[in-house]
């Protein structure tokens, strides 16, 4: 062991000097292709022993500078505050490592400026591929990547310039809406139009879910009231405020609600609690998102769980196939067994 307080890190040249050989041999041994380079196993063992003793760690910057491929794969993600993005990130890291890639992930807080900044930084780090998850402006990112000759993919929200993997929001929302309407009929004795709350009207997913929401109403012959579609944003406070405002309207608030994310559900639940509806079985809820505690809320809330493993499988398939055309792949979400009220 080197007990000297070292200011410089050990390099292959240091190891070469210690082993009485050349840096070239050390490099070959340590990156595993010493058989190809016809290094004797004697020397290989000696070098590996010395490297171990010295606590040698590769300088990746130097290595990457020389090599053609970086094996770095980047992902930008809006938030870490819910199970959906959390599981995307966790599984993405896992799948990337399983393929010999080094994942770097950064959170951009749904801030378009930060997204661009993050993408630029990742390009500087020579990512081979960049996954834009739930990006506010995916096409901007695709353009930046294209300019640098780097592949990009969209996840969760689609873009027009790169392949996108998203949930089948329309079908998921239609089924969720159908279930809420059925529950509503069963519990309240009648089927009344629902409230849609949460998300941004400008984002593709919300638009598709609203389309599914309308379709399910139409399927069952129920008319949708426009004043009951509140794409007020995702934040809990926004949902809470939107409900307050809607409650002031001329018509009564619907008893059934389609909530566009667990984040918005948080605000809805706070509002319900505040307005004294908690534990009141007269409210029939459904959420396009999944969180284990929601099951436990006990209000018989229906959930749609996006198929994260399915989506990431598609993402890596696209990466491996080298596809670049701007197709949109829709992955059906999972709808767990209906909750009892």
Partner DNA sequence: CAAGCTTGCTCAATCGATGAAGCAAGAATT
Partner DNA sequence: AATTCTTGCTTCATCGATTGAGCAAGCTTG
| Number of amino acids touching DNA (CB under 7 A) | 29
Whats the size of the chain, residue-wise? 341
Helices (H), 55-190: 60-66, 83-98, 112-124, 138-147, 169-188
39 binds DNA (CB under 7 A): yes
122 binds DNA (CB under 7 A): no
SS3 164: strand
Question: Which helix H or strand E contains 45, and what residues bound it?
Answer: helix 41-54
Of 9-17, 80-88, 226-234, 269-277, which segment contacts DNA by CB under 7 A? 9-17
- Bridge partner residues of 167 (DSSP): 331
CA-closest candidate to residue 242, choices 196, 203, 273: 196
Give the burial string for 96-119 (b: 16+ CB within 10 Å, else e).
Answer: beeeebbbbbebbebeeebbbebb
As measured in angstroms, the least distance from the Cβ of 35 to DNA is 9
* Residue from 107, 176, 257, 284 in contact with its own copies (CB under 8 A): 107
CA-closest candidate to residue 34, choices 26, 69, 51: 26
d(C-alpha 173, C-alpha 270), whole Å: 23
* Residue from 17, 18, 23, 114 in contact with DNA (CB under 7 A): 23
32 binds its own copies (CB under 8 A): no
As measured in angstroms, the least distance from the Cβ of 102 to its own copies is 7
Question: Which helix H or strand E contains 316, and what residues bound it?
Answer: helix 308-321
Q: Who contacts 101 (Cβ-Cβ below 8 Å, separation ≥6)?
A: 71, 72, 73, 128
Question: Could you identify the residue written with the tokens 């010295």?
Answer: 54
* Residue from 17, 18, 148, 215 in contact with its own copies (CB under 8 A): 148
Radius of gyration of the chain (CA): 26
* Residue from 58, 171, 207, 235 in contact with DNA (CB under 7 A): 58
48 binds its own copies (CB under 8 A): no
As measured in angstroms, the least distance from the Cβ of 288 to its own copies is 16
Q: Which does 25 bind (CB under 5 to 8 A by kind): DNA, its own copies, none?
A: DNA
Question: Which helix H or strand E contains 269, and what residues bound it?
Answer: helix 262-274
25 binds DNA (CB under 7 A): yes
Nearer to DNA, 15 or 303 (CB): 15
d(C-alpha 183, C-alpha 179), whole Å: 6
* Residue from 2, 6, 40, 282 in contact with DNA (CB under 7 A): 40
42 binds DNA (CB under 7 A): yes
As measured in angstroms, the least distance from the Cβ of 38 to DNA is 4
Is 54 within 8 Å of 66 (Cβ atoms)?
Answer: no
Nearer to DNA, 9 or 274 (CB): 9
62 binds DNA (CB under 7 A): yes
* Binding residues vs its own copies (CB under 8 A): 2, 6-9, 55, 57-65, 70, 79-81, 83, 85-87, 89-90, 93-94, 102-107, 109, 120-121, 123-126, 144, 147-149, 236, 262, 266, 269-270, 273, 278-279, 291-294, 296-298
* Binding residues vs DNA (CB under 7 A): 8-9, 11-13, 20-25, 27-28, 30-31, 33, 37-40, 42-43, 58-59, 62-63, 65-67
């Amino acid at each position: 062991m080197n007990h000297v307080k070292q200011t410089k890190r050990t390099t292959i040249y240091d190891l070469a000097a210690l082993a009485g050989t050349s840096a070239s041999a050390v490099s070959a041994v340590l990156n595993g292709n010493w058989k190809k380079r016809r290094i004797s196993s004697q020397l290989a063992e000696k070098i590996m022993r010395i490297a171990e003793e010295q606590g040698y760690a590769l300088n990746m910057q130097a290595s990457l500078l020389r090599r053609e491929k970086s094996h770095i794969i980047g992902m930008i993600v809006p938030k870490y505050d819910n199970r959906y993005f959390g599981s995307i990130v966790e599984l993405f890291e896992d799948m990337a490592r399983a393929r010999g890639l080094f994942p770097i992930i950064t959170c951009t807080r749904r801030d378009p400026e930060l997204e661009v900044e993050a993408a630029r930084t990742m390009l500087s780090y020579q990512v081979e591929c960049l996954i834009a998850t739930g990006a506010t402006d995916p096409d901007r990112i695709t353009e930046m990547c294209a300019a640098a000759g780097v592949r990009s993919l969209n996840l969760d929200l689609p873009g027009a310039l790169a392949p996108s993997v998203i949930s089948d929001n329309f079908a998921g929302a239609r089924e969720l809406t159908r279930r809420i309407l059925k529950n509503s009929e069963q519990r309240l004795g009648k089927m009344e139009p629902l409230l849609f709350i949460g998300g941004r009207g400008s984002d593709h997913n919300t638009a598709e879910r609203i389309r599914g929401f309308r379709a399910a109403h139409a399927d069952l012959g129920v008319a949708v009231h426009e004043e009951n579609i509140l794409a007020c944003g995702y934040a809990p406070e926004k949902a809470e405020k939107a409900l307050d405002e809607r409650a002031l309207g001329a018509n009564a608030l619907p008893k059934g609600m389609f909530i566009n994310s667990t984040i918005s559900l948080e605000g809805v639940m706070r509002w319900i609690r505040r307005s004294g509806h908690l534990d009141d079985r007269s409210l029939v809820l459904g959420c396009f998102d999944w969180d284990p505690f929601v099951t436990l809320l006990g209000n018989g809330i229906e959930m749609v769980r996006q198929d994260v493993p399915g989506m990431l499988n598609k993402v890596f398939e696209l990466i491996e196939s080298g596809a670049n055309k701007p197709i949109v792949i829709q992955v059906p979400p999972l709808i767990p067994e209906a909750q009892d009220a």
